[in-house]
Amino acid sequence: MAVSLYRKYRPARFEDIIGQEHVARTLVNAIKHDRVSHAYLFTGPRGTGKTSTAKILAMALNCEAGGGKATPSPDGTCPHCRAIRQGSFLDVVEMDAASNRGIDDIRDLRDKVHFAPVQGRMKVYIVDEVHMLTPEAFNALLKTLEEPPAHAVFVLATTEPHKVPPTILSRCQRFDFRRPSIKEVVEVLTSVAVQEGIEVAETSLTVIARAAGGSFRDAVGILDQLATYSSGNICLQETLDILGVVRHDLLFEIVDLVHENDAQGALLFVERLSQSGVDYSQFIKDLLSHLRDLYIAKHTEDMPAGIAATEEQMDRLRSQAGRISVARTVSLIDLLGEALRAIRQGSDSRLELELVLIKITAVAGVPSTPGGGPASQRQPSTPTPQAAKPLPRAQPATPETAPRSQSTAPETAGQPQPEPSTGETVAPPLPETAAGATIVPDIDHLKRAWPLVLEAVKKRQRGLPALLGEGRPDSLDDNELVIKFPAGYSFQANQVARGENPRIIAEALLEVTGTELRVTTKLAPGAAPEPAAADEDARILNKDELIRVLKQEFDARLIDDGPTR
Residues 261 and 377 in one domain: yes
Mean pLDDT to the nearest integer, 27-47: 94
What is the rounded average pLDDT of the residues 543-563? 65
| Residue 337 or 394, more confident | 337
Please state, in angstroms and rounded to a whole number, the distance separating the CA atoms of residues 292 and 513: 20
Check: CB of residue 456 under 8 Å from CB of residue 391.
no
Final residue of a structural domain among 149, 176, 203 = 176
pLDDT by residue (tens digit) across 200-248? 888 888 889 888 888 999 999 999 999 888 877 888 888 887 887 778 8
Residue-level pLDDT at 398: 39
Which conformational region is residue 176 in: left (phi greater than 0), alpha (psi within -120 to 50 degrees), or beta? Answer: beta
Alpha-carbon torsion (6, 12, 15, 21), positive or negative: positive
Tell me if residue 243 falls in helix, strand or coil. Answer: helix
pLDDT in tens, 328-379: 888 899 999 999 999 999 899 999 999 999 988 875 444 433 333 333 333 4
Residues 28 and 69 in one domain: yes
Does a structural domain hold residue 369?
A: yes
Whether residues 188 and 204 share a domain: the answer is: yes
pLDDT over threshold 50, residue 289:
yes
Residues whose CB is less than 8 angstroms from the CB of residue 384 and which lie 6 or more positions away in sequence, other chains included: 263, 264
- How many other C-beta atoms are found inside a 10 Å radius of the C-beta of residue 102? 15
Whether 128 maps to a domain, the answer reads yes
**Residue 333 and residue 417 share a domain:** no
CATH number of the domain enclosing 268: 1.20.272.10
Q: Identify the domain containing residue 213 by its residue range.
A: 182-243
pLDDT score at 553: 63
Decide if pLDDT at 417 tops 90.
no
- Write down the pLDDT at residue 416: 43
Whether 167 shows a pLDDT value over 80: the answer reads yes
Q: Please indicate, yes or no, whether residues 56 and 154 belong to a single structural domain of this protein.
A: yes
Residue-wise pLDDT for 502-511, tens only, equals 999 988 888 8
- Assign residue 235 the CATH number of its domain: 1.10.8.60
Query: Which tops the pLDDT comparison, 434 or 159?
Result: 159
My answer on whether 379 and 405 are in the same domain is: no
Q: Is the pLDDT of residue 529 over 60?
A: no
Residue 132 confidence class, pLDDT cut points 50, 70, 90 = very high
Instruction: Assign residue 75 the CATH number of its domain.
Output: 3.40.50.300
The reply to whether 195 and 306 lie within a common domain is no
487 and 419 part of one domain: yes
pLDDT given for residue 402 in this prediction: 38
